[in-house]
Every structure is written in C-alpha cells, then in structure tokens.
C-alpha cells in the first residue's frame, strides 16, 4: 500500500462518508416509493479503474459492492467534466445494470483535467415500459418484453442536459414524472459526491486521493483473504433447483463447484442449466458478479464484520460461468426476476461453502422474497399495493437456531404495517404471523416461515406474487437436520371452496376470496433427536412447534397445553429409542430426493453438457422437451407427489435414452460421428 497508515485511515473514512452522504442526498431529494420505503437504491465512489473504492454501510442496497463501471464508461468513449452517463442495459453495461428497472448514472470527477474518480447512483424506477405495468414479470421470454433498453449514453454532456435522451426515456415509461424525479435525485447525489471529493482533494491532495482508491481496495482484499484462509481447503459441489421456469413445470438447475485454495475461492457454475425463456436469467458476463457471489460476500463479512466495503471484498473470488447458462445469460435473455435465481445461487453456494466452513455456514434459509401485490380496478384507473414483502426465516447452524420470520439474505426490506395496508386497498388481513411447524427440525431448529392470510373486500381485484419459489423443493437441512416445509398458496372462495395455486403471474380474485400464502421454513441443523427436551418444550409452549410435530420430528412427548405443557420423559425415551434419525451432510427433503431419483447428478450433468453442445437457441426448448417427456410418464404433481417404482423406472429409462440420443446428435453436429 502506498499511503502512510494514518493518512489512509483518515481518507478512507472520508470517502466512505462521501458515499453515504450521496445516499442521504438521494434519499432527501427523492419522492420515490422505492427509495423511501424499500430502500432499493444505492450510491458509491469508484476509482479511475471503475471499481468501487468506497461503498456506503447501513444505507442503500449492500449487495452491489462488487459491480464494475468499466464497460459502461468505455462504451461512451471520451468523457469531459460535467458529463453524466445513463444506462439500464445489463448486456451493454457489462452487468452494471442487472435488470431494466434499475436506472444507473455515472459521473466522472475531474481534477486538473484528469479523472480522479467516478460517482455512481442507481434507483429501481417504477416503470420502464415493456409488456406489463412495473415492467417485471416472470413469464417475459426475452428482454424486449421487459422495457426500454438504454445502452450507456450521455444524459448530461459537459453540464448540459441531453434533452433528446431525456425525451426518449420519458416516452418509454408508464410513469415518466416519477422517473424524472428519480433522475433528478440521482443527479443531486452525484453533485454531492463531486463536492465532497473536491473537499477531500483540497485537504489531502489529488495524489493521495488517487493512491487511496487503490490502497483501500487492497486493504479490504487483504482482510477478505485473511477471512477466506479460515476455510477448509478442497473442492466442494452443491446443486439446487428453481421449482420451474414459470412457463413450464421443468425445474431449473443451479450447480456450483467451489474450490478453496489458501486464501482464494474459485466458483465454477458448470452444470447449471442453459438460460431459460423466462425472466430468471442473470447477466453476470462470466465475472464474479454481485448476483452470483452474494453468499460469498456474506460469508466474508460474517468472518470479518468490520471490513470496509469495496471491490476488494471479491478480489479473491474467481468465477467460471458457462456462457449462455442461466447464471451467465446472453442477449436477449429476460432478466427481470433474476433475484429468484440469485436466491437459489445463494443456496447452492451456501451448500458448497458449508462443506468448507461447516461451523460457520447455516442450513438453507427459506430462500424467497415475494412481494404480495393486489391490484384493484376502479373508475379512475387501478390501485396497486404491495401488501407485504413475504420472506421466511434463516437456516439453523451449529450452535444456534435460525431466525423466525425474517431473512435478509437477498434484500433487507421493511414490511408494511397492517393498519396502513388496510387504509390503502380493499383487503382485511386475517392473519400475519409465524407459520408453525415450518422450520426444519434439528438439534438446532430452522427459522419459521410466515403466513399471510387476507380476505378481498372488493370485486375485480387481481393478485400478483412474483418471486414465489420453494413451492416444490424445500430449503435443505444440514448434518441430519430436516428440510423446511415448502411454500403454499391457497385461495378459498367465500363459499369455502379451496384451491391450491402454484406459481402465478396474475390471478383474478373475487370479493370474499381468502388468499393464504405460507412461505417455506428454513433448514434445520443436526439430529433433531438430540435437541434437548427443554428446548423442544419451549418451542411447543411458544407455539412454533405443535405437540404432534414435537413427537413426530423430535421424538419428544409433550402433555398439556400452553403454560401447562410438560415433557413426558418416559414417552420421550420410547419415541427416541424407536426413531431413526436422518443423516448426511445435506437433507434435501422428499421432493428433491424423488427428483434426483429420476434425474441423478450424472444424468443431469450429461444432459446439460450435451445441451451446451447444441446451438444456443435450441438448448432451452430441447431441455424442456426431454425432461417434459419424462414428467409426462409420471403422476401429475411429481415430484411433490410420489411415483411408483415402475413409473419411475419407465420415466428414467426414457430419459436416459433421450440423453444418449442427444449426445449422439451433438457429436454428429460437431462432426465427431458420421
């Protein structure tokens, strides 16, 4: 490092505060719902190399610290003082933008004619055009349906607003005034950043500030390496699945192989499915991109909570992500709901890292973020409200139960008070609480999911619930700990007729309908039969575990109810003697076990490898066809409902045949076979 340690500490403090002041300016000047309520925005300072050297802590979106401005800056060509770049294009910005609703601005900061840093700001805007209001829908098949793509262009040229660009943006949004407000708030934040940076340069000189960018990143990288050196060296693999791709019932596979060597990590996503014709793709550009490294950042920051946030955090992380896969999608793949895939990448990484850091990593969290949205039509148009952003709990780990009903794994959103929700829209919230018996059983119990149940009080309403996942494959447990309960969505009519609903895009509701969403529980850790009776009793008394589940899952017999509940020690001894605890590093749940019974790791690897030998446009359709044909031979609802051995054998034989045929076809097309 170039600077003396005292100077570096002082400049480092000032630059981090600069980034936080940018956020405060943005927050103060913005009127956007996404800024005020859900905090879906951020600002930061980058060095001349385009990497973030100072990133805010405790304000804004924390996960984007590893993003890189370089591609967006290079795309616009030479810059001059007073320029501001705008983009939302995940492909042409090199992955800086991650879906089209995130509008990004970059402003170069000059001193004596040379760039001494870049300010960056983004806000999730309300609408950027496309097929549906709010622009985001899981069933969008390509990015053209998701709204206006803005390649990196100058929004401001040498201090002069580019009115042509602004006009183009405004014409392509359903909420142009709101977007204009967002742009103004970001421009104000970038001005603040410039003023504060000039003040730091005035005190410390531009040479020290330039050196500080590099030193700060290097300092954090050293701390990240020191944290990673505490992991067990080796190579670890884990795979997890999205339930389906929203357009077909075929699950989407995410595979990661983590190699830990000394103080660095390599993540190899080979074995992940080809990109899908739905909005679940991540445009990572094959780099250690924010949405495929979130769990790694969380691990580093858990091991070293006070490491300054900047690009140095991911410096020790290398990535191999096959081009055209769901984790390194190519244009024009749709990316709107990439956070659902990021949740599953999180789980895949968590599963692999658990093998390298068994005492640190928890079992799978509930792994979903579902903004439950109700839209009602009325004379003046429509009223759209998020009732609650539904999450679940966190996974258990060695030494600690998971957290019930809260999970900040992907984003740390605030919920909405029931009392304000009911003044905004025609619903009565009947229950908003923890979901009993949903957390995976274990020596340490997984966090409970949530239950939201509401009655619709007006006709002509619609339900949206993007991000609904874990309806099929459960959050896994560890070291004998059970998997969490899968999510459920049930709609009951006023007459009491219930229907279980799967992943939805938009669902029409009638007055009197009761909608109940139960989010998945998180995974447990360790043999539940080793959980002390007193802790099981405590859960029964508090009501998060029922007496039935205490007996079935924990082998603990509880008599009486509420405050009068007590453990029947003899009954417990009998139950525990009779039970056979689960085992294995990961407990995946019956649905995943059934699925793996059809489509084991080797078969999946073969099919995916063969698909990647086909021309890119053919892969998704072929995968859906091959697996769809196998599913057609199995009962409806498989793997949530079991199949007989004979059915499974038949489907598996057909699948293996199809895989072999595909391999031949791929070889032929590559000229290996006649």
Partner 1 sequence: MNDDAETGTRTGAGTDPPRGPRGGIDVGGTFTDVVLTLPGGGTAHHKEPSTPADPALAVARGLSAATAAAGLAPADVVDIAHGTTIGLNAIIQRRGARIALIVSRGHRDILEIGRSRMPSSFDLHAAKEEPLVPRERVIEVDARLDANGRVLRDPDDADLVRAAEELSATGADAAAVVVLHGHTAPDYEADLTARLAALVPDVPLVSSAAVWPEVREYERTLVACMNAYIQPLMSGYFDRLEELLTGLDVRAPIFITASNGGSLSLASARARPIETVLSGPAAGVTAAARLAQAAGTTDVVTFDMGGTSSDIAVTVGGAPEFAVNTTIGGMPLILPVVAVGAIGAGGGSVVRVDDFGLLKTGPDSAGADPGPIAYGRGGQRPTITDCYLVTGVIDPEEFLGGRMSLDRDAAEGALADLARALDGEGNQTARAIADGALRIATAGMAVELHKTLARRGLDPADFTLVPYGGAGPTHAALLAEEVGITDILVPASAATLCALGAVGADLRRDFARSLRRPLDAESAAAVRSVLDDLAERARSWLADQGGHEAGPVRLEASADLSYLGQAHELRVALGEADDPSELDAAALAEALHTEHERLYGFRDTGAAIRVGTVRLAVVAPRPDPGADRAAPATGEVEPRAQRTVTVHGRDVRAAVHDRAALGSGHRLTGPAVIVQDDSTVLVPPGWSAQVEPSGHLRLRSRS
- Positions 358 through 377 that interact with partner 1 (CB under 8 A): 360-362
Q: How far is the CB of 198 from partner 1 (least distance, A)?
A: 13
Q: Is 134 in the site for partner 1 (CB under 8 A)?
A: no
Cis peptide before 315 (omega within 30 of 0): no
CA 541, 436, 438: angle at the middle one, nearest 5? 130
116/395 Cα distance (integer angstroms): 43
Q: Taking contact as CB under 8 A, which single stretch among the options 47-55, 269-277, 404-412, 510-518 is the one that binds partner 1?
A: 404-412
Q: Between 186 and 333, whose beta carbon lies closer to partner 1?
A: 186
Residue with the two structure tokens 């952003």: 389
Q: Is 36 in the site for partner 1 (CB under 8 A)?
A: yes
Q: Taking contact as CB under 8 A, which single stretch among the options 278-286, 421-429, 570-578, 590-598 is the one that binds partner 1?
A: 421-429
3-class DSSP assignment, residue 256: strand
Q: Is 583 in the site for partner 1 (CB under 8 A)?
A: no
What part of residues 63-102 is at the interface with partner 1 (CB under 8 A)? 63
What part of residues 238-297 is at the interface with partner 1 (CB under 8 A)? 297
Cα-flanking dihedrals φ and ψ of residue 468, to 5°?
-70, 120
Give the residue from 440, 441, 390, 446 showing the smallest Cα distance to 416.
Answer: 390
Neighbour-count burial for 440-462, b at 16+ CB within 10 Å, e otherwise: bbbbbbbbbbbbbbbbbebeebb
The three-state (H, E, C) secondary structure of 133-149, written as one string: CCCCCCCCCEHHHHCCC
Q: Taking contact as CB under 8 A, which single stretch among the options 2-10, 82-90, 460-468, 525-533 is the one that binds partner 1?
A: 2-10
Q: Is 407 in the site for partner 1 (CB under 8 A)?
A: yes
Q: Kindly tell me which residue out of 541, 616, 666, 667 binds partner 1, with binding defined by CB under 8 A.
A: 541
Q: Kindly tell me which residue out of 2, 33, 566, 668 binds partner 1, with binding defined by CB under 8 A.
A: 33
Q: How far is the CB of 409 from partner 1 (least distance, A)?
A: 8
Encoded tokens for 607:
């099919």
Q: Between 29 and 235, whose beta carbon lies closer to partner 1?
A: 29
Query: What strand order describes the sheet that includes 498-501?
Result: 427-434, 450-456, 514-518, 488-492, 498-501
Q: Kindly tell me which residue out of 90, 108, 351, 405 binds partner 1, with binding defined by CB under 8 A.
A: 405
Q: Between 36 and 232, whose beta carbon lies closer to partner 1?
A: 36
Spell out, one character per residue from 185 to 224, where the chain touches partner 1: x when CB under 8 A holds, - when not: -------x--------------------------x--xx-
540/177 Cα distance (integer angstroms): 52
Q: Is 560 in the site for partner 1 (CB under 8 A)?
A: no
Q: Taking contact as CB under 8 A, which single stretch among the options 27-35, 150-158, 163-171, 327-335 is the one that binds partner 1?
A: 27-35
CA 600, 601, 602: angle at the middle one, nearest 5? 95
List CB contacts of 105: < 8 A, sequence separation 6 or more: 84, 85, 86, 120, 121, 122, 155, 183, 186, 187, 190
Q: Taking contact as CB under 8 A, which single stretch among the options 89-97, 263-271, 386-394, 551-559 is the one that binds partner 1?
A: 386-394
Per the CB < 8 A criterion, the answer to whether 110 and 116 are in contact is yes
Q: Is 141 in the site for partner 1 (CB under 8 A)?
A: no
* Residue count, binding to partner 1 (CB under 8 A): 76
Give the residue from 325, 365, 376, 305 showing the smallest Cα distance to 57.
Answer: 305
Q: Between 84 and 450, whose beta carbon lies closer to partner 1?
A: 450
Q: Between 209 and 403, whose beta carbon lies closer to partner 1?
A: 403
247/503 Cα distance (integer angstroms): 9
Q: Is 26 in the site for partner 1 (CB under 8 A)?
A: no
Q: Between 115 and 360, whose beta carbon lies closer to partner 1?
A: 360
Q: Kindly tell me which residue out of 78, 113, 305, 496 binds partner 1, with binding defined by CB under 8 A.
A: 305
Q: How far is the CB of 58 from partner 1 (least distance, A)?
A: 9
Q: Kindly tell me which residue out of 562, 615, 671, 674 binds partner 1, with binding defined by CB under 8 A.
A: 562
- If phi > 0 it is left, if psi is from -120 to 50 it is alpha, else beta; for residue 174 that is alpha
Q: Between 299 and 471, whose beta carbon lies closer to partner 1?
A: 299
Q: How far is the CB of 122 from partner 1 (least distance, A)?
A: 17
Q: Between 16 and 284, whose beta carbon lies closer to partner 1?
A: 16
Q: How far is the CB of 172 from partner 1 (least distance, A)?
A: 22
Q: Between 276 and 425, whose beta carbon lies closer to partner 1?
A: 425
Q: Is 24 in the site for partner 1 (CB under 8 A)?
A: yes
Cis peptide before 104 (omega within 30 of 0): no
Q: Kindly tell me which residue out of 229, 270, 412, 516 binds partner 1, with binding defined by CB under 8 A.
A: 412
CA 223, 225, 228, 230 torsion-angle sign = negative
Q: How far is the CB of 39 from partner 1 (least distance, A)?
A: 10
Helix (H) or strand (E) holding 389: strand 381-390
Could you give the residue ranges of the DSSP H alpha helices within 313-337?
none
Q: How far is the CB of 433 from partner 1 (least distance, A)?
A: 4
Q: Taking contact as CB under 8 A, which single stretch among the options 241-249, 331-339, 428-436, 499-507 is the one that binds partner 1?
A: 428-436
Q: Is 591 in the site for partner 1 (CB under 8 A)?
A: no
Query: What strand order describes the sheet that includes 160-161?
Result: 52-54, 41-46, 114-124, 102-111, 84-87, 153-157, 160-161
Q: How many residues does the chain have?
A: 674
- Could you tell me whether strands 370-378 and 461-464 are parallel, antiparallel, or unpaired per DSSP bridges? antiparallel
Encoded tokens for 408:
């900040």
- Computed on alpha carbons and rounded to an integer, the radius of gyration of the chain in Å comes to 26
Q: Between 404 and 553, whose beta carbon lies closer to partner 1?
A: 404
221/225 Cα distance (integer angstroms): 6
Q: Is 8 in the site for partner 1 (CB under 8 A)?
A: yes
239/104 Cα distance (integer angstroms): 33
113/397 Cα distance (integer angstroms): 53
51/213 Cα distance (integer angstroms): 9
Encoded tokens for 112:
């004596």
327/63 Cα distance (integer angstroms): 17
Q: Between 501 and 565, whose beta carbon lies closer to partner 1?
A: 565
Q: Taking contact as CB under 8 A, which single stretch among the options 134-142, 152-160, 422-430, 582-590 is the one that binds partner 1?
A: 422-430
51/287 Cα distance (integer angstroms): 13
Q: Taking contact as CB under 8 A, which single stretch among the options 9-17, 66-74, 516-524, 572-580 is the one that binds partner 1?
A: 9-17
What part of residues 436-465 is at the interface with partner 1 (CB under 8 A)? 450, 453
Q: Kindly tell me which residue out of 408, 546, 603, 640 binds partner 1, with binding defined by CB under 8 A.
A: 408
Q: Between 457 and 603, whose beta carbon lies closer to partner 1?
A: 457
Q: Between 233 and 428, whose beta carbon lies closer to partner 1?
A: 428
Q: How far is the CB of 350 from partner 1 (least distance, A)?
A: 9
Q: Taking contact as CB under 8 A, which single stretch among the options 252-260, 336-344, 542-550, 572-580 is the one that binds partner 1?
A: 542-550
Q: Is 29 in the site for partner 1 (CB under 8 A)?
A: yes
Could you give the residue ranges of the DSSP H alpha helices within 547-670?
547-554, 569-578, 590-598, 601-611, 616-632, 645-669
Q: Kindly tell me which residue out of 511, 542, 644, 669 binds partner 1, with binding defined by CB under 8 A.
A: 542
């Amino acid at each position: 490092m170039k600077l003396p340690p005292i100077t570096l500490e002082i400049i480092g403090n000032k630059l981090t505060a600069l980034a936080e002041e940018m956020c405060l300016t943005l927050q103060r000047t913005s009127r956007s719902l996404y800024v005020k309520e859900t905090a879906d925005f951020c600002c930061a300072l980058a060095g001349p190399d385009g990497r973030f050297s100072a990133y805010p802590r405790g304000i804004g979106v924390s996960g984007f610290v590893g993003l890189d401005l370089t591609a967006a800056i290079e795309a616009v060509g030479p810059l001059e003082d007073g320029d501001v770049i705008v983009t939302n294009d995940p492909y042409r910005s090199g992955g800086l933008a991650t879906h089209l609703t995130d509008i990004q601005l970059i402003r170069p900061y000059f001193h004596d004619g040379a760039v001494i840093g870049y300010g960056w700001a983004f806000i999730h805007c309300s609408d950027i055009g496309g097929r549906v209001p709010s622009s985001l829908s899981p069933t969008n098949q390509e990015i053209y349906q998701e709204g206006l793509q803005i390649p990196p262009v100058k929004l401001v040229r040498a201090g002069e607003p580019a009115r042509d660009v602004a006009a183009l943006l405004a014409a392509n949004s359903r909420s142009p005034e709101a977007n204009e407000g967002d742009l103004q708030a970001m421009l104000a934040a970038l001005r603040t950043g410039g003023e504060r940076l000039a003040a730091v340069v005035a005190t410390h000189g531009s040479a020290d500030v330039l050196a500080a960018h590099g030193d700060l990143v290097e300092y954090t990288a050293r701390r990240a390496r020191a944290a990673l050196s505490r992991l067990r060296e080796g190579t670890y693999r884990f795979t997890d699945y999205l339930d389906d791709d929203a357009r077909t019932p075929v699950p989407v596979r995410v595979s990661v192989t983590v190699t830990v060597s000394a103080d660095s990590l390599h993540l190899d996503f080979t074995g992940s499915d080809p990109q899908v014709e739905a909005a679940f793709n991540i445009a990572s550009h094959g780099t250690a991109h924010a949405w495929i490294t979130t769990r790694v950042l969380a691990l580093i920051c858990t091991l070293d909570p006070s490491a300054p946030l900047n690009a140095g955090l991911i410096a020790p992380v290398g990535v191999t992500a096959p081009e055209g896969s769901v984790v390194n999608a190519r244009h024009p793949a749709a990316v709107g709901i990439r956070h659902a895939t990021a949740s599953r990448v999180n789980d895949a990484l968590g599963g692999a890292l658990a093998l390298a850091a068994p005492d640190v990593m928890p079992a799978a969290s509930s792994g979903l973020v579902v903004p439950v949205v109700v839209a009602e039509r009325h004379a003046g148009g429509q009223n759209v409200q998020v009732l609650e952003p539904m999450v679940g709990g966190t996974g258990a780990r060695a030494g600690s139960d998971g957290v019930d009903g809260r999970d900040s794994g992907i984003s740390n959103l605030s919920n909405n008070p029931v009392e304000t929700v009911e003044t905004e829209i025609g619903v009565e919230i009947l229950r908003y609480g923890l979901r009993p018996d949903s957390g995976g059983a274990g020596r340490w119990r997984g966090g409970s999911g949530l239950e939201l149940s509401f009655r619709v009080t007006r006709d002509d309403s619609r339900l949206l619930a993007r991000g609904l996942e874990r309806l099929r494959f459960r959050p896994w447990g560890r070291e004998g700990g059970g998997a969490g309960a899968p999510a459920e969505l049930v709609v009951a009519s006023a007459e009491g007729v219930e229907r279980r609903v799967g992943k939805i895009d938009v669902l029409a509701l009638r007055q009197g309908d009761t909608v109940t969403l139960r989010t998945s529980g998180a995974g447990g850790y360790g043999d539940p039969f080793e959980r002390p009776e007193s802790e099981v009793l405590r859960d029964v008394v508090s009501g998060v575990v029922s007496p039935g589940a205490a007996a079935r899952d924990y082998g603990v017999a509880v008599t009486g109810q509420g405050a009068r509940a007590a453990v029947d020690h003899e009954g417990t001894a009998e139950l525990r003697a009779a039970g056979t605890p689960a085992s294995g590093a990961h407990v995946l749940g019956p649905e995943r076990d059934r699925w793996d019974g059809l489509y084991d790791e080797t078969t999946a690897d073969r099919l995916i490898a063969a698909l990647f030998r086909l021309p890119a446009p053919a892969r998704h359709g072929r995968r859906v066809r091959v697996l769809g044909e196998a599913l057609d031979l199995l009962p409806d609802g498989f793997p949530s409902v079991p199949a007989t051995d004979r059915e499974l054998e038949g489907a598996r034989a057909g699948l293996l045949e199809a895989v072999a045929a595909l391999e031949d076809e791929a070889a032929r097309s590559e000229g290996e076979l006649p």
